[in-house]
């Protein structure tokens, strides 16, 4: 295929059209910063069904753009019962062999916004409506980025390339840009297996209510057990129950061998999603003495795949050595879903990077570098803590945490203590205002 290069030296490129990429585009457009979006797929899309967003994400959406929050409000789903509106999850006993009878409530975790969730595709459609016409290019799978002192050139699988003043890479956990930024052989360049798997399924709400009753079906629940847990929450305005069952690998360390090499990445690709069937799922959980309520939920799920859960080792930098490539969202700090905070972190990233670039009067290469550098400074500690605590929560839920074990009092204590730093956070003061002050210092 003949090569062609498209040049937009005065624009910032955004690679990836998921939640993080589109929120970044909306934020930059709000500040009249010229942008171009490149998406590998034929259209904007998100993987997965339901996504949960906490109070911190709600605040970030409001600060990013009122229309983002309005779009989220339009499609979000809360717990159905009024008595559950301010609860994140009700935690229940999931397996046998405990002082709690099966399904017995262990504790409820309060949350300022309650459990709010959306169907990913529905939320993405609301974001797409805010993207200006003519700035998005599809079928553009990134294969390389080359930098010069004044710009970047994006190289795509179709043989084309594009020149821009800088690029923000929101290309997810399998990011092409991350190894370019960190170095192909850097130990944090590629995601690593966490020893956990997930089975995802949707259940019609009418069937769920008939099978387990309205309280358990219409409000968010987590069923805890030894070596696994199951969470459920309503989506699509209460019409559907999102159900995810988590289990532990027989050898949690084996897939992590040679994790820093390109050979590992190539070898592990087939293991992201593996075929399975309903009988295998039920057999796995039945063998661990799971009780009737969780097993009933599993029997209602349509299962064909098992998802391996990966996260990123902490990156020393979110920007390239030359400073014109910036990582955002899962490309920078992919995590397991156990905190319900991965998408929220990407929205926070989008808010901060757009506010910092918007505070720069004249966008040239040197000032973009400084904005990217400050973004990294203010975001890296919080985002990497989220990755670490999400992995820890996976152990807590599965009674594998070294301190909490299956002591339910300790489980509750650790979960409640850990959520405070995530939800009760003043991003305006801690990152935006501090970041803009830092911009003045580095510009000075």
* SS3 at position 434: helix
- Position 283 scores a pLDDT of 84
Work out the angle between the directed axes of helices 365-397 and 408-423 (0-180°, nearest 10): 160
Tokens (6 digits) for 90: 């009700």
pLDDT at 260 over 60: no
Tokens 């459990």 belong to which residue? 115
Helix (H) or strand (E) run with residue 387 in it: helix 365-397
Q: What is the mean pLDDT of residues 349-362?
A: 94
Compute the half-sphere exposure of residue 9: CA atoms within 13 Å on the CB side of its CA: 6
- Position 268 scores a pLDDT of 45
- Strands, E assignment, 267-337: 273-275, 305-311, 325-327
For the stretch 6-27, pLDDT in tens is 556 789 999 999 999 999 999 9
pLDDT at 255 over 60: no
Mean model confidence pLDDT for the chain: 90
Tokens (6 digits) for 210: 């008939």
pLDDT at 134 over 80: yes
For the stretch 193-203, pLDDT in tens is 999 999 999 99
The pLDDT-based confidence of 441 (bands split at 50, 70, 90) is confident
- Position 4 scores a pLDDT of 56
Tokens (6 digits) for 220: 């968010």
pTM: 0.92
Catalytic residue among 76, 200, 373, 391: 200
pLDDT at 262 over 50: no
- Position 207 scores a pLDDT of 97
Q: What is the mean pLDDT of residues 234-255?
A: 84
- Position 279 scores a pLDDT of 87
Q: How far apart are CA 263 and CA 179, in angstroms?
A: 13
- Strands, E assignment, 212-321: 221-225, 228-235, 240-248, 273-275, 305-311
Q: What is the mean pLDDT of residues 140-166?
A: 96
pLDDT at 97 over 70: no
Pick the residue with more confidence: 30 or 106?
30
- Strands, E assignment, 227-384: 228-235, 240-248, 273-275, 305-311, 325-327
Q: What is the mean pLDDT of residues 131-147?
A: 96
For the stretch 366-394, pLDDT in tens is 999 999 999 999 999 999 999 999 999 99
- Position 258 scores a pLDDT of 37
Tokens 């009737």 belong to which residue? 292
Q: How far apart are CA 393 and CA 175, in angstroms?
A: 25
Of 46, 38, 15, 25, whose CA–CA distance to 136 is shortest?
38
- Position 252 scores a pLDDT of 62
Q: What is the mean pLDDT of residues 432-441?
A: 93
Q: What is the mean pLDDT of residues 299-317?
A: 93
Chain centroid to CA 77: 18
**259-148-333 Cα angle (round to 5):** 30
Pick the residue with more confidence: 73 or 443?
73
pLDDT at 261 over 60: no
3-state secondary structure 331-366: HHHCCCHHHCCHHHHHHHHHHHHHHHHHCCCCCCHH
Pick the residue with more confidence: 8 or 422?
422
Chain centroid to CA 27: 18
Q: What percent of the chain has pLDDT over 90?
A: 74
367 has catalytic annotation: no
């Amino acid at each position: 295929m003949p090569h062609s290069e498209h040049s937009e030296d005065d624009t910032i490129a955004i690679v990836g059209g998921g939640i993080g990429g589109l929120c970044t585009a909306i934020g930059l457009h709000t500040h009249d910063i010229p942008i171009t979006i490149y998406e590998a797929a034929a259209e904007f899309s998100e993987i997965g069904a339901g996504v949960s967003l906490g109070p911190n994400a709600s605040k970030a959406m409001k600060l990013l753009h009122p229309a983002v929050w309005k779009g989220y409000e339009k499609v979000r789903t809360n717990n159905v019962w009024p008595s559950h509106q301010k609860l994140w999850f009700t935690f229940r006993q999931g397996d046998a062999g405990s002082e709690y009878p099966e399904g017995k409530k262990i504790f409820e975790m309060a949350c300022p916004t309650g459990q709010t969730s959306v169907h990913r595709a529905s939320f993405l459609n609301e974001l797409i409506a805010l993207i200006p016409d003519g700035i998005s290019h599809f079928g553009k799978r990134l294969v390389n980025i080359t930098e010069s002192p004044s710009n970047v050139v994006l190289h795509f699988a179709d043989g084309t390339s594009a020149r821009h003043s800088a690029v923000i890479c929101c290309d997810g956990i399998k990011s092409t840009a991350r190894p370019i930024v960190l170095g192909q052989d850097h130990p944090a360049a590629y995601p690593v297996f966490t020893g956990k798997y997930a089975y995802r399924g949707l259940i019609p709400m009418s069937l769920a209510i008939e099978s387990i009753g309205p309280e358990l079906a219409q409000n968010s629940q987590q069923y805890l057990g030894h070596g696994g847990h199951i969470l459920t929450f309503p989506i699509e305005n209460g019409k559907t129950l999102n159900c995810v069952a988590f289990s532990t690998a027989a050898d949690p360390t084996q897939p992590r061998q040679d994790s820093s090499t390109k050979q590992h990445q190539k070898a592990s690709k087939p293991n992201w999603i593996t075929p399975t069937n309903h009988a295998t799922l039920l057999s796995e959980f039945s063998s661990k003495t799971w009780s009737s309520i969780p097993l009933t939920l599993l029997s209602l799920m349509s299962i064909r795949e098992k998802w391996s859960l990966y996260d990123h080792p902490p990156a020393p930098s979110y920007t390239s050595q030359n400073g014109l490539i910036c990582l955002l969202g899962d490309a920078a700090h992919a995590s397991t879903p156990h905190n319900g905070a991965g998408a929220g972190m990407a929205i926070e990233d989008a808010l901060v990077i757009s506010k910092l670039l918007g505070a720069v009067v004249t966008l040239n290469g040197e000032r973009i570098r400084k904005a990217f550098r400050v973004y990294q400074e203010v975001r890296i500690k919080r985002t990497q803590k989220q990755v670490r605590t999400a992995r820890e929560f996976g152990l807590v839920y599965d009674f594998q945490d070294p301190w909490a074990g299956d002591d339910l009092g300790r489980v509750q204590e650790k979960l409640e203590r850990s959520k405070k730093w995530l939800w009760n956070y003043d991003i305006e003061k801690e990152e935006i205002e501090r970041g803009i002050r830092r911009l003045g210092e580095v510009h000075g």
